[in-house]
Amino acid sequence: MHPVLSRLGLAAELPGAASHGDLSTTGPLVASTNPTTGEALAQVRLASREDYETVVTRAQEAFARWRLVPAPKRGEIVRAMGDALRRHKDDLGDLVTLEVGKLRSEGHGEVQEAIDMADFAVGLSRQLAGQTFHSERPQHRMYEQWHPLGVVGVITAFNFPHAVWAWNAMLALVCGDAVIWKPSLKAPLTALATHRICDAVLTEAGHPGVLGLVIGADDEVGRALVDDRRVPLISATGSCRMGRAVGAAVAGRLGRSLLELGGNNAVIVHSDADLELALRAVAFGAMGTSGQRCTTTRRLLVHEDVADTFLPRLERVYRSAKVGDPLADGTLVGPLIDEDAVRGFEHAVAQARAQGAELVAGGSRVDGPGHFVQPTLLRAAPDLPMVREETFAPILYVSTYRDLGEAIAWQNSVDQGLSSAIFTESFRASQRFLSHAGSDCGIANVNIGTSGAEIGGAFGGEKDTGGGREAGSDAWKAYMRRQTCTLNWGDDLPLAQGVVFDVGEG
Ligand code: NAD
């Protein structure tokens, strides 16, 4: 067994459900494999519908107590969770790399993001503020307040196996909610290790069961969670296909959903761009995490005046990028998550070429163990069917443009609306891009790339990306219920809008 797993207290065979203390689960065994080597790291025995029932029942009981703890006190416990993550940062970061193949600095960056979320949530725990309003009625007062919502279901994608849970859980916890996490079956070990570290802090503080974990099949525990009326909010991160299914199911029971779905993000390199900055940002955005971020740069729109300078430089970067072990120094591109992802990459390249795209660099899988592909650059018309799809792999489609309006229209022409960026030195071009007639995405950047958001702002996207917002700003409001209160301290009972309703008693 890998020493990182031992240090994190993980065994060769693990149960797939946990609340306070582990549950012994009875489902089939599923191996978590290292995408760099193709070797199994450990096995997880999946949770069943009955195991889910145990976890949700405990979460409901725990919620009834947790919501009574004052929010700043909840914040103190979240602070201790952040400290526990700090102590385990190196091992957890390495586990992310072992399980999903991110570069080591990115694996560690994920844990840092969770720590940042804990710090943010601690401050927030004293700022869950409502507004007060002037009543139209004399001697009346009106205000709104925010109450804990209940048990929150968090469904996460494989590519952020640690941080996305923290975006949700750290906020939900200070808001007074219990959390049930259903992680991706492609990254169960990171979920188990994270859950155990954070659950231990809550249990020691006297709040077992506030955090629950169920690792199981989508049509078993996934469906049970999504259909469960005892879970008022489902926060789901993943593909648009998943979002359509989950969003419809939650809406069908009139629940609340927070959807963080796929992206098809573009960078515009304008005629006056700082090409050095643009080159570095496009390379990181498109090749980083092997193209497996929701914010990955998938489309590049380059102004005709700079295309002949910029594109040969980009091609050289693509040809020299080191593909290999994400734990090794100097590696820029690690593996894809599994063999299906490699097949998806090969299919996309073949389809794009059949549709008229021209291969500039890469285009093939890398032979040997693990699931490696070459970072790939294709010249393609912006309206090709393949260009409009999100392929979770390091494929960048490049087009040139003459007019900025045309480039912005192309960038907005896809179904997804997550992240976008322009490189320009021009005040007018950048403001046009950021205006209401500019980018239609949830994230719009100037002179930085599409990928690598900070936690301070609200994160999420429009259109088929699902419309949800997580992490900073006022994203916390999704995890609470709003209540508007009107208080009468006078001797009369005036009705709003001047309505008169005089009753007599005899
Ligand atoms: P996926 O859609 O295959 O799975 C995501 C999660 O949803 C997994 O936990 C999966 O088990 C679960 N799931 C799928 N169908 C379900 C159903 N019917 N009911 C309940 N649960 C269900 O996605 P993936 O391959 O793990 O991740 C890649 C995708 O996630 C990409 O599209 C990427 O853009 C997106 N993503 C988006 C964000 C964001 O914040 N917008 C962040 C990370 C990843």
Catalytic, out of 113, 260, 390, 470: 260
User: Is 33 in a helix, a strand, or coil?
Assistant: strand
Q: Residue 155 — φ and ψ, nearest 5°?
A: -105, 125
Claim to verify: residue 365 and residue 347 sit in the same structural domain: yes
Decide if 92 is inside a domain: yes
Claim to verify: residue 193 and residue 221 sit in the same structural domain: yes
CA distances from 428 to 177, 272, 302 (A): 45, 12, 17
Ligand 1 atom 43, closest CA = 294
Decide if 504 is inside a domain: no
Claim to verify: residue 34 and residue 114 sit in the same structural domain: yes
Q: At which of 399, 417, 446 does a domain end? A: 446
Decide if 395 is inside a domain: yes
User: Is 54 in a helix, a strand, or coil?
Assistant: helix
Q: Return the bridge partners of 142, or none.
A: 133, 486
Claim to verify: residue 233 and residue 325 sit in the same structural domain: no
Token pair recorded at residue 182: 């259903």
Claim to verify: residue 253 and residue 197 sit in the same structural domain: yes
**Residue 373's pLDDT is what?**
98
CB distance 25 to 46 below 8 Å: yes
User: How far is residue 249's CA from residue 226's CA, in Å, rounded to a whole number?
Assistant: 7
User: How far is residue 115's CA from residue 275's CA, in Å, rounded to a whole number?
Assistant: 34
Q: Is 479 left (phi over 0), alpha (psi -120 to 50) or beta?
A: alpha
What is the CA(307)–ligand 1 centre distance, in A? 35
CATH of the domain at 292: 3.40.309.10
Claim to verify: residue 180 and residue 70 sit in the same structural domain: yes
Global pTM exceeds 0.85: yes
411 lines ligand 1 (CB under 6 A): no
Decide if 506 is inside a domain: no
Active site residue 260: yes
Q: How many domains does the chain have?
A: 2
Decide if 501 is inside a domain: no
238 lines ligand 1 (CB under 6 A): yes
Claim to verify: residue 188 and residue 92 sit in the same structural domain: yes
Token pair recorded at residue 87: 């102590």
Rounded to a whole number of angstroms, the distance between the first and last alpha carbons of the chain is 85
Claim to verify: residue 470 and residue 404 sit in the same structural domain: no
Report the residue among 106, 159, 296 best suited for mutation to probe ligand 1: largest number of ligand atoms under 8 A from its CB. 159
Decide if 498 is inside a domain: no
Claim to verify: residue 285 and residue 206 sit in the same structural domain: no
Decide if 97 is inside a domain: yes
**Residue 23's pLDDT is what?**
78
| Averages of pLDDT over each 10 residues, the chain, 506 residues | 94 86 85 97 96 96 98 98 98 98 97 98 98 97 98 98 98 98 98 97 96 97 98 98 98 98 98 98 98 98 98 98 96 98 98 98 96 98 97 98 98 98 98 98 98 95 98 98 98 95 91
294 lines ligand 1 (CB under 6 A): yes
Claim to verify: residue 366 and residue 474 sit in the same structural domain: no
Which amino acid makes up residue 361? A
Claim to verify: residue 329 and residue 224 sit in the same structural domain: no
What is the CA(261)–ligand 1 centre distance, in A? 7
**Residue 20's pLDDT is what?**
67
Claim to verify: residue 235 and residue 277 sit in the same structural domain: no
What is the CA(340)–ligand 1 centre distance, in A? 15
User: How far is residue 456's CA from residue 130's CA, in Å, rounded to a whole number?
Assistant: 20
CB distance 281 to 381 below 8 Å: no
Report the residue among 294, 340, 342 best suited for mutation to probe ligand 1: largest number of ligand atoms under 8 A from its CB. 294
> Of 99, 497, 238, nearest to 226 (Cα)?
238
CATH of the domain at 138: 3.40.605.10
Decide if 503 is inside a domain: no
Chain CA centroid to CA 289, Å: 14
What is the CA(259)–ligand 1 centre distance, in A? 10
Q: Which atom of ligand 1 is nearest to the CA of 418?
A: 41
Q: Where in the sequence is the domain holding 477, given as residue range(s)? A: 3-261+466-484
Active site residue 294: yes
